[in-house]
Amino acid sequence: MLSWAFTFLVLAIIAAIFGFSGLAGVFGWLAFILFALFLAVAVALFIAARKVVGKMTD
């Protein structure tokens, strides 16, 4: 998921360089959404792992 966000970010930068501002905006939006989704999943998995490890050490 993070690799897709990076890919869309690079595509947005390339589109902005060539003057495709509408396309660059779409790619930038997709990169932002995918990165936010990645962060949400990473935080959720971190919290879940801490709970599992906490139960194993009790």
Please report, for the chain, the start and end positions of each structural domain, with discontinuous segments joined by +.
2-57
Q: Give Dmax (Cα) for the chain.
A: 59
Q: Residue 54's pLDDT band (boundaries 50, 70, 90)?
A: confident
Question: Which residues, in sequence order, are CB contacts of 21 under 8 Å at separation 6+?
Answer: 15
pTM of structure:
0.76
Q: What is the pLDDT of residues 9-36, one digit of tens each?
A: 999 999 999 998 898 999 999 999 999 9
**Pairwise CA distance, residues 21 & 15, whole Å:** 7
Euclidean distance between the first and the last CA atom of the chain, given in angstroms as a whole number? 34
Residue 1 has pLDDT above 80, yes or no: no
